[in-house]
Structure 1
Amino acid sequence: MNLAEQVKQIVMSTPHKKAYHYQGKDTSYIEFDQLVGTLAFSLQKVGIKKGDHIAFLLGNTPDFLISLYACMRIGATAVPINPIFTLDEISYIFNNGDIKSVIAHDTLLPMLDEGKLNYPKVETFIVCESSNDPLINLDSISKEMKNRLHFFSDFLSESSLIETFDIQDEDTAIILYTSGTTGKPKGAELTHVNLFANARDVAHFMKFTAEDRVIATLPIFHVFALTVVINAPLFVGATILIALRFSPSEIFTLAKSQEATVFAGVPTMYNFLYQYPKGNAQDFSTLRMAISGGAPLPHQVLHNFEEKFNVRISEGYGLSEASPVTCFNALDAERKVGSIGKSITNVENKVVDEQGCELPPNVVGELIVRGPNVMKGYYKMPEETAKTLRDGWLYTGDLAKKDDEGYFYIVDRKKDMINVGGFKVYPREVEEVLYQFPEVLEAAVIGKEDEDFGEVVYAFVVLKDNGILQEELIEYCSRHLAKYKIPKVIKILEALPKSSTGKILRRTLKEMNF
């Protein structure tokens, strides 16, 4: 079974249950299913077949959900792309990913037209209008682009009779391009069984029910949101509350007016929600669960949020190559601060040394994973696949440890570890200390090359009070850290560079000049 078939099961049992809410409008499961079927028919009509690759350049709108499930229904492969990527980044994925068709927001049409010669294999461009009338003046679009252009609204006005395909569990359902820290992004191929298994197991472990109302403010083209706030809720017939963008004021309003029960975010979102002066516990009074992932959650941020809103945050862990969730702090078990929890249902995690041998409790090594959620490989990259998938295990590249009770802790990215004269420094340890300084809003730590020690620690902070000096912060660190862990430089910034999901971009920080 695949996720599109699972939605049909929900339609059969509760057709008029609300599938999603968006900008004041509710859409039922039967309406959603009809839209999916109609789009699937229209895609077939323009020549999309099983196995063809369709890129999405879409934000948080129902168009994304409809497109994703239409692709799954006919066996096409969805390739979600961050819509704020540059033309060069988009062109690389179009070509590397063998994209045949593109579904994009209308505001991106001029850019796509400008770069059309970069991706001659793309046959059709399907434009999602942002209103009843397209924002783009078609007179400014080239004839070559117009010949390949279709409108999403037209595709939803066709008949919904579609040809059925024999879709296998191991067929690729989606290709997710990972934001590589070195080199070009790699396309992780996730199969129908990968997505189905992780949605099922996440729903089970997080105790999702049809009564849940899940806020989708994380970018839904990202794997964290894709499974946790889209596929898992739809798996059980819950309602998705789609937020076009992350705004603390809008999230509080949406949560209160729609009686949200689940919120999922990255650590920076929790920090922004806590800092928003008008937010209060009443706004989140209906939440039964808050989920954090995407990056380590600083202890101080967790404490501040929980104290202010009286909502427990449960931290988990995942990565694109695992669909993504592998660990989570179960709601009916002890929550250990700083831990990513235990292995979820049907997934196995362990910590190993350089030879792949399992390490004893509380010893740091590389986290590896296996289960039905693990990808089939990187698209057209057999050597990279062989490095990452070994003997049935996915090597994550994350440094972790496991305690005596089976709780896992991410120490840091293997490639982010700092080697100061032979001593290991984990950025997260230094960041936790900086977050405890009352005037620090955000912190990030990297390693910089040094002639004497090989590497030294550099830190970047955003402050509440600009009157704080670097020397005060370094002196504070000296009281809480061993000498080799103390930042040599602490740079005060107005904001930290972040990805569209709110993850702090260490690579950008490493490229800064001092």
Structure 2
Amino acid sequence: MNLSSQLTQTAAQYQSKPAYYFEGQTATYGELEGAVTQFAAGLKELGLKKGDHAALILGNSPYFVISLYGAMRAGVTIIPINPIYTPDEIGYILNNGDVKAVITLDVLIPLFEKMNGALPKIEHIIVCDTPLSKEKASADISQLSVYPKMKSFTNILGLGAEGGEFPELQDDDTAIILYTSGTTGKPKGAMLTHKNLYSNAIDVGQYLKMSKDDRVIAALPMFHVFCLTVSLNAPLMTGASLLIVPKFSPAEIFRLSKEYEATVFAGVPTMYNFLLQYPDGNPEDFTSLRLCISGGASMPVALLKGFEQKFKVVISEGYGLSEASPVTCFNPLDSPRKPGSIGKSIVNVENKIVNELGDELPPGEVGELIVRGPNVMAGYYKMPEETDHTIRNGWLYTGDLAKVDDEGYFYIVDRKKDLVIVGGYNVYPREVEEVLYNHPQILEAAVLGVPDPNFGEAVKCFAVLKDKAVTEEELIQYCREHLAKYKVPGSIEFLEELPKNTTGKILRRALKQQVLQN
């Protein structure tokens, strides 16, 4: 069984039930199933075959859902990419991921026209209208003959109107490759199989008691694995209805929850903070919610308690990572929730704490969190050494320090070394530093995370200049041109020299102490 075949079964059982709501429009499970089949057949007509790679560069919309499930049905491996990435970031993933086709937004047409020569492997660019630019988009798409690689999403559906036969999907076939920031500065592609994704969606749905009666707010970005499993795949497997949010805003969350009587909301701590601080937030709008889910970063206990006290709804905090599809732990719904804990192992997944030798540690002792289960990735795309380092004897080594108590509740003590989490998004300092080192006036640079009241953490840089001819704002603007918005430093502090140990290694902890002292 896989996500595509399970959707077919769900659609047969709930043919006329709403599968999703989006900006006043509704589609039933029968309609969604039909569109998925048409899109899969359209991709086949284009010449895409099992094992080919296609990238999704889309925001939250029905386009994403149909493209995701249509590609999987056709046996095509999907690579989701954040639409706000810079051309350099997008280009690297497209080339490294051997992408043959791209499904993207009409507003990104100029980007692909400009990058055409740098993307020799791309054969097809399928363009979707954005809701606010349909008139303009129609004009652009009608002239796509000037760039033969481009086709409209609607035309691809038309190509597949007759349906067709699709390849048999095996459990260990790669369904999705998720690119995550690497400590070397280059993203790594985590290969998730059909078994990985299906098992985690089913297990999460079971653990969170999702059913056909749920209406799940999908406000997290769909290209992120948290949303993919918790707010998209798990609900669709159980016959629940999605409330698709194009872009997170507190006003829209309150409106949707009240209008559609939402039952489940999943978000990162930053979202909960914005909802709590929203001056017009009415607790009565959340009376239908039976469950709130938090992940992506550790939630401050004060925020968790403040939200629950105001809105009278329990937040279940969990833990996951891209390499595990992603969920490994959640606070259980049928036993006490422990603030500050990521909860217990979900069904079919094992978590344990080990020392440097791989030996399991007793409760209360801090060590590395490792994971085993049907949700653990097959490996990193074209990176066998990284794969062997991360997966050992069937266990995924997360790099996170944690502990477990006598009742099986896990607690994250510290994150992967140097990792910065901005509003739930991972930022690795080396990636930002590589950009800074390309600036002609930078002699040395070190990046770390500092506390931020809105996003949990913010990126801060310490730099040593070759001369004084560059300002902080000029360097920040330089970063904006080469990095996604959430990776750009919020501040850059200039020093005469960076603290180092006897081997010349920059001491980040000394810089962190300096931040705390200030």
Q: Structure 1 length as normaliser, TM-score?
A: 0.82
Counterpart of 2:70? 70
Shift of 1:508: 4.0
2:493 and 2:311 mapped to 1: Cα distance? 37
Shift of 1:137: 5.6
C-alpha spacing 1:160/1:458, structure 2 compared with 1 (3 Å) = closer
Amino acid at match of 1:164: F
2:86 and 2:373 mapped to 1: Cα distance? 35
> 1:301-450 to 2 correspondence within 5 Å?
301-416=303-418
Render the CA deviation track for 1:90-113: whole Å, top value 9, x for unaligned. Answer: 110011000000000000010111
Structure 2 unpaired stretches of 5+ = 422-426, 430-445, 455-478, 496-518
- 8 A Cα contact 2:3 2:233, kept in partner: yes
Counterpart of 1:254? 256
> 1:48-447 to 2 correspondence within 5 Å?
48-131=48-131, 132-135=134-137, 138=140, 146-158=147-159, 159-416=161-418
- 8 A Cα contact 1:19 1:32, kept in partner: yes
Shift of 1:170: 0.3
Shift of 1:460: 3.9
Counterpart of 1:5? 5
SS at 1:30 equivalent: helix
- 8 A Cα contact 1:318 1:324, kept in partner: yes
- 8 A Cα contact 1:216 1:240, kept in partner: yes
C-alpha spacing 1:460/1:198, structure 2 compared with 1 (3 Å) = closer
C-alpha spacing 1:139/1:76, structure 2 compared with 1 (3 Å) = closer
2:317 and 2:493 mapped to 1: Cα distance? 31
Amino acid at match of 1:45: E
Higher alpha-carbon deviation: 12-21 or 152-161: 152-161
- 8 A Cα contact 1:351 1:400, kept in partner: yes
- 8 A Cα contact 2:225 2:322, kept in partner: yes
1:139 and 1:160 mapped to 2: Cα distance? 23
- 8 A Cα contact 1:49 1:75, kept in partner: yes
Amino acid at match of 1:80: P
C-alpha spacing 1:285/1:267, structure 2 compared with 1 (3 Å) = same
- 8 A Cα contact 1:315 1:340, kept in partner: yes
Shift of 1:118: 1.1
1:403 and 1:190 mapped to 2: Cα distance? 30
Identity %: 56
SS at 1:90 equivalent: helix
SS at 2:151 equivalent: strand
C-alpha spacing 1:156/1:365, structure 2 compared with 1 (3 Å) = same
C-alpha spacing 1:265/1:458, structure 2 compared with 1 (3 Å) = closer
- 8 A Cα contact 1:109 1:136, kept in partner: no
Shift of 1:119: 0.9
Higher alpha-carbon deviation: 151-160 or 206-215: 151-160
C-alpha spacing 1:326/1:156, structure 2 compared with 1 (3 Å) = same
Shift of 1:377: 0.2
Shift of 1:135: 2.9
Shift of 1:462: 4.3
- 8 A Cα contact 2:84 2:485, kept in partner: no
Alpha carbon RMSD of aligned pairs, Å? 2.7
Higher alpha-carbon deviation: 127-136 or 334-343: 127-136
- 8 A Cα contact 2:200 2:326, kept in partner: yes
- 8 A Cα contact 1:326 1:349, kept in partner: yes
Counterpart of 2:501? none
- 8 A Cα contact 2:144 2:151, kept in partner: no
Structure 1 unpaired stretches of 5+ = 418-426, 429-443, 447-454, 464-496
Render the CA deviation track for 1:19-38: whole Å, top value 9, x for unaligned. Answer: 10000111100000000011
- 8 A Cα contact 2:22 2:243, kept in partner: yes
Amino acid at match of 1:34: G
Amino acid at match of 1:98: D
Shift of 1:303: 1.3
Shift of 1:180: 2.7
Counterpart of 1:478? none
